[in-house]
Amino acid sequence: MPDLRLANESWEALLKAQASLMRGFTAERMWDEVSLKEYDVLYTLKKAGCALRMSELNEAVLLSQPALSRLVDRLESRGLVQRATDPKDRRGALVSLTPDGVAVQHRIGARHARSVELRMSTALSSAEMRTLQQLCERLNAAQSELRPHRDTAVPIPSGTAADQEIAP
Protein backbone atom coordinates (compact mmCIF):
# COMPACT_ATOMS: atom_id res chain seq x y z
CA MET A 1 0.00 0.00 0.00
CA PRO A 2 1.38 3.46 -0.86
CA ASP A 3 2.72 5.47 2.04
CA LEU A 4 1.32 9.02 2.09
CA ARG A 5 3.93 10.40 4.46
CA LEU A 6 6.85 8.79 2.62
CA ALA A 7 5.58 10.02 -0.75
CA ASN A 8 5.31 13.59 0.56
CA GLU A 9 8.66 13.49 2.34
CA SER A 10 10.31 12.13 -0.83
CA TRP A 11 8.68 14.87 -2.90
CA GLU A 12 9.88 17.52 -0.44
CA ALA A 13 13.43 16.11 -0.52
CA LEU A 14 13.40 16.20 -4.34
CA LEU A 15 12.21 19.82 -4.34
CA LYS A 16 14.79 20.86 -1.74
CA ALA A 17 17.61 19.22 -3.70
CA GLN A 18 16.48 20.91 -6.92
CA ALA A 19 16.17 24.30 -5.20
CA SER A 20 19.59 23.93 -3.59
CA LEU A 21 21.23 23.00 -6.90
CA MET A 22 19.48 25.86 -8.72
CA ARG A 23 20.62 28.40 -6.09
CA GLY A 24 24.17 27.18 -6.61
CA PHE A 25 23.94 27.36 -10.40
CA THR A 26 22.33 30.81 -10.30
CA ALA A 27 25.09 32.19 -8.06
CA GLU A 28 27.84 31.16 -10.45
CA ARG A 29 29.59 33.75 -12.56
CA MET A 30 28.92 32.13 -15.94
CA TRP A 31 25.66 33.99 -16.61
CA ASP A 32 27.17 37.16 -18.07
CA GLU A 33 25.90 36.60 -21.65
CA VAL A 34 22.52 35.13 -20.80
CA SER A 35 20.55 34.44 -17.64
CA LEU A 36 19.96 30.90 -16.45
CA LYS A 37 16.35 31.08 -17.70
CA GLU A 38 17.50 32.34 -21.10
CA TYR A 39 20.08 29.55 -21.21
CA ASP A 40 17.31 27.03 -20.45
CA VAL A 41 15.50 28.14 -23.63
CA LEU A 42 18.70 28.00 -25.71
CA TYR A 43 19.53 24.55 -24.31
CA THR A 44 16.02 23.25 -24.94
CA LEU A 45 16.18 24.40 -28.57
CA LYS A 46 19.66 22.91 -29.03
CA LYS A 47 18.61 19.59 -27.49
CA ALA A 48 15.50 19.45 -29.69
CA GLY A 49 17.69 19.80 -32.77
CA CYS A 50 14.93 21.63 -34.63
CA ALA A 51 12.62 24.60 -34.38
CA LEU A 52 9.93 24.28 -31.72
CA ARG A 53 6.47 25.77 -31.51
CA MET A 54 6.05 28.10 -28.56
CA SER A 55 3.70 25.58 -26.94
CA GLU A 56 6.35 22.84 -27.22
CA LEU A 57 8.99 25.15 -25.80
CA ASN A 58 6.63 26.10 -22.98
CA GLU A 59 6.19 22.44 -21.99
CA ALA A 60 9.96 22.03 -21.66
CA VAL A 61 10.84 25.10 -19.55
CA LEU A 62 9.65 26.25 -16.14
CA LEU A 63 8.11 29.54 -17.21
CA SER A 64 4.58 30.76 -17.69
CA GLN A 65 3.49 31.31 -21.28
CA PRO A 66 3.59 35.14 -20.99
CA ALA A 67 7.03 35.06 -19.32
CA LEU A 68 8.33 32.72 -22.03
CA SER A 69 7.00 35.00 -24.77
CA ARG A 70 8.79 38.01 -23.25
CA LEU A 71 11.99 36.00 -22.81
CA VAL A 72 11.90 34.80 -26.44
CA ASP A 73 11.31 38.43 -27.52
CA ARG A 74 14.49 39.46 -25.67
CA LEU A 75 16.51 36.58 -27.12
CA GLU A 76 15.22 37.42 -30.60
CA SER A 77 16.12 41.10 -30.25
CA ARG A 78 19.67 40.02 -29.30
CA GLY A 79 19.89 37.77 -32.36
CA LEU A 80 20.08 34.49 -30.40
CA VAL A 81 16.79 33.00 -31.63
CA GLN A 82 14.51 33.60 -34.56
CA ARG A 83 10.81 33.12 -35.07
CA ALA A 84 9.17 31.94 -38.25
CA THR A 85 5.58 31.22 -39.16
CA ASP A 86 4.74 27.55 -38.83
CA PRO A 87 4.01 26.35 -42.38
CA LYS A 88 1.65 23.68 -40.98
CA ASP A 89 -0.35 26.21 -38.94
CA ARG A 90 0.12 29.83 -39.95
CA ARG A 91 -1.26 30.98 -36.58
CA GLY A 92 1.71 29.43 -34.78
CA ALA A 93 5.33 30.48 -34.59
CA LEU A 94 8.39 28.28 -34.68
CA VAL A 95 11.40 29.29 -32.59
CA SER A 96 14.91 28.22 -33.53
CA LEU A 97 18.48 29.06 -32.60
CA THR A 98 20.49 31.42 -34.77
CA PRO A 99 24.20 30.75 -35.34
CA ASP A 100 24.95 33.28 -32.56
CA GLY A 101 22.50 31.45 -30.29
CA VAL A 102 24.22 28.15 -31.00
CA ALA A 103 27.60 29.70 -30.15
CA VAL A 104 26.35 31.21 -26.87
CA GLN A 105 24.63 27.96 -25.87
CA HIS A 106 27.80 26.01 -26.62
CA ARG A 107 30.03 28.42 -24.67
CA ILE A 108 27.80 28.63 -21.61
CA GLY A 109 26.84 24.96 -21.89
CA ALA A 110 30.44 23.78 -21.58
CA ARG A 111 30.87 25.72 -18.32
CA HIS A 112 27.46 24.72 -17.01
CA ALA A 113 28.10 21.03 -17.76
CA ARG A 114 31.30 21.17 -15.68
CA SER A 115 29.38 22.84 -12.86
CA VAL A 116 26.65 20.18 -12.96
CA GLU A 117 29.25 17.42 -12.91
CA LEU A 118 30.98 18.98 -9.88
CA ARG A 119 27.78 19.52 -7.90
CA MET A 120 26.40 16.06 -8.69
CA SER A 121 29.62 14.08 -8.22
CA THR A 122 30.37 15.78 -4.91
CA ALA A 123 27.32 14.08 -3.43
CA LEU A 124 26.69 11.03 -5.61
CA SER A 125 28.68 8.17 -7.12
CA SER A 126 28.32 7.33 -10.81
CA ALA A 127 26.04 4.41 -9.91
CA GLU A 128 23.87 6.67 -7.73
CA MET A 129 23.62 9.23 -10.54
CA ARG A 130 22.46 6.48 -12.92
CA THR A 131 19.87 5.36 -10.36
CA LEU A 132 18.71 8.96 -9.86
CA GLN A 133 18.39 9.41 -13.61
CA GLN A 134 16.34 6.22 -13.95
CA LEU A 135 14.06 7.16 -11.05
CA CYS A 136 13.46 10.65 -12.43
CA GLU A 137 12.75 9.24 -15.89
CA ARG A 138 10.19 6.84 -14.37
CA LEU A 139 8.53 9.69 -12.47
CA ASN A 140 8.41 11.81 -15.59
CA ALA A 141 6.98 9.03 -17.75
CA ALA A 142 4.28 8.23 -15.18
CA GLN A 143 3.00 11.79 -15.14
CA SER A 144 1.55 11.61 -18.65
CA GLU A 145 -0.78 8.87 -17.41
CA LEU A 146 -1.85 10.91 -14.37
CA ARG A 147 -2.11 14.37 -15.93
CA PRO A 148 -5.54 15.54 -14.74
CA HIS A 149 -7.61 18.31 -16.20
CA ARG A 150 -7.61 21.53 -14.18
CA ASP A 151 -11.13 20.88 -12.91
CA THR A 152 -10.49 17.27 -11.90
CA ALA A 153 -10.12 16.74 -8.17
CA VAL A 154 -7.63 14.22 -6.81
CA PRO A 155 -9.62 11.52 -4.99
CA ILE A 156 -8.82 11.12 -1.30
CA PRO A 157 -10.05 7.88 0.17
CA SER A 158 -11.48 8.25 3.67
CA GLY A 159 -10.37 6.17 6.60
CA THR A 160 -6.79 5.86 5.35
CA ALA A 161 -3.46 7.47 6.01
CA ALA A 162 -4.66 10.20 3.64
CA ASP A 163 -6.75 11.56 6.51
CA GLN A 164 -3.53 12.58 8.27
CA GLU A 165 -2.62 16.23 8.08
CA ILE A 166 0.17 16.29 5.55
CA ALA A 167 0.33 19.34 3.34
CA PRO A 168 2.72 19.05 0.42
Q: What is the pLDDT of residues 59-111, one digit of tens each?
A: 999 889 999 999 999 999 999 999 999 888 888 889 999 999 999 999 999 99
Chain mean position to CA 17: 14
| Domain spans of the chain, in order of start | 21-140
Class of the CATH domain delimited by 21-140: mainly alpha
Dihedral sign for Cα atoms in the order 78, 81, 82, 86? negative
Give the residue from 26, 23, 27 showing the smallest Cα distance to 39: 26
- The backbone torsions φ and ψ at residue 82, rounded to the nearest 5 degrees and listed phi first, read -135, 150
Number of other residues whose CB lies within 10 A of the CB of residue 101: 24
pTM for the whole structure? 0.79
Collapsing DSSP to helix, strand or coil, 80 comes out as coil
